[in-house]
Amino acid sequence: MRLLIADTIFPKGHCCLNKHLLEILLRNEKIAEVKLIDYQDYYANHSNKVTSYNVSFLFKSKNAYLNYICQFLNSILIVFLCLRIRYDKVFFFTFDTLSFTLLRLVICKPIYLFHHNNTDHLLNKYKRKIFKTYMNKVNHVVFADFIKDYLVSIGVSANRIFVISHPLPDLSFTSKMQNTNGPNMYIALGHANDENIIHDLIEYEKQKHCLERNNIHLVLRTQNSFNELPLSINIVTGFLAEEHYIDYYRKAKGVLILYPDYFKYRFSGVLLDALVAKKKVIGRNIPIVRYYAQRYPSCCSFFEGVDDLMKKILLDNIALNVNEEVYTSFLSAHSDQVITSQLNEILL
Determine the 3-state secondary structure of 258 from DSSP: coil
188, burial (CB in 10 Å: exposed 0-12, middle 13-18, buried 19+): buried
Q: What is the pLDDT of residue 183?
A: 65
Give the model's confidence band at 221: pLDDT under 50 very low, under 70 low, under 90 confident, else very high: very high
Read off the amino acid at residue 210.
C
Give the model's confidence band at 239: pLDDT under 50 very low, under 70 low, under 90 confident, else very high: confident
What superfamily would CATH give domain 171-332?
A: Glycogen Phosphorylase B; (3.40.50.2000)
Q: Give the predicted TM-score (pTM) of the model.
A: 0.91
Phi, psi of 219 (to 5 degrees): -120, 120
Q: What is the pLDDT of residue 80?
A: 87
Tens digit of pLDDT for each residue in 46-105?
A: 678 899 998 887 666 677 778 778 888 888 888 888 889 999 999 999 999 998 998 888
Say which range, 3-17, 51-65, 159-173, has the weakest mean pLDDT: 51-65
H or E, element range at 315: helix 306-317
Taking phi over 0 as left and psi of -120 to 50 as alpha, with beta for the rest, 182 belongs to: beta
Among candidate residues 288, 280, 286, the one with its CA nearest the CA of residue 312: 280
Give the span between the Cα atoms of 96 and 76, in whole angstroms.
13
Q: What is the pLDDT of residue 171?
A: 66
pLDDT averaged over every residue in the chain: 90
Tens digit of pLDDT for each residue in 253-306?
A: 999 999 999 999 999 989 998 999 899 999 999 999 999 999 999 999 999 999
Q: What is the pLDDT of residue 286?
A: 97
Domain boundaries, the chain: 2-163, 171-332
Determine the 3-state secondary structure of 111 from DSSP: strand
Give the span between the Cα atoms of 135 and 155, in whole angstroms.
8
Topology match between the domains 2-163 and 171-332:
yes
Mean pLDDT in residue range 312-335: 90
Q: Under a CB-based contact definition with an 8 Å cutoff, are residues 78 and 100 in contact? A: no
Eight-class DSSP state of 35? E
Asked if the model's pLDDT at residue 180 lies above 60, the reply is no
225, burial (CB in 10 Å: exposed 0-12, middle 13-18, buried 19+): exposed
Give the span between the Cα atoms of 60 and 320, in whole angstroms.
47
- Pairing relation of β-strands 184-188 and 252-257? parallel
Q: What is the pLDDT of residue 179?
A: 62
Q: Which residue has the higher pLDDT, 199 or 238?
A: 199
User: Under CATH, which number does the domain 2-163 receive?
Assistant: 3.40.50.2000
Say which range, 28-32, 159-163, 303-307, has the weakest mean pLDDT: 28-32
